[in-house]
């Protein structure tokens, strides 16, 4: 519904699928955290990517704006090496 699966669409899937963006870009994911309307991934290089409902992503968007169906790097954390998402 809100893009929280990370497949580039806003439609539901019947079965789990790999999020292709990470494989296609050569990013290796260390950890994933999923909630009802948003998801986050931590890569081995300490970067955090989020996708799903805009107001929960840490991307500086407001209620009703910015739903994202593909993992997006949180630019405000780019100078930090994160070690966990939850």
What is the phi-psi region of residue 52: left when phi exceeds 0, alpha when psi lies from -120 to 50, beta otherwise?
left
pTM of structure: 0.80
Q: Which carries the bigger pLDDT value, residue 48 or residue 4?
A: 48
pLDDT tens per residue across span 5-63? 666 667 777 777 788 888 899 999 999 998 888 889 999 999 999 888 776 656 555 44
Among 41, 40, 43, 42, smallest CA distance to 53 is for 40
At residue 46, the pLDDT reads 96
Whether residue 75 has pLDDT greater than 60: yes
């Amino acid at each position: 519904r809100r893009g929280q699966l990370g497949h580039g669409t806003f439609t539901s899937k019947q079965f789990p699928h790999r999020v292709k963006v990470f494989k296609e870009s050569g990013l290796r994911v260390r950890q994933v955290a999923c909630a009802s309307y948003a998801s986050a991934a931590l890569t081995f290089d300490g970067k955090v990517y989020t996708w799903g409902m805009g107001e929960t992503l840490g991307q500086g968007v407001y209620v009703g704006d910015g739903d994202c169906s593909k993992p997006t790097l949180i630019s405000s954390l780019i100078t930090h090496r994160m070690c966990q998402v939850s």
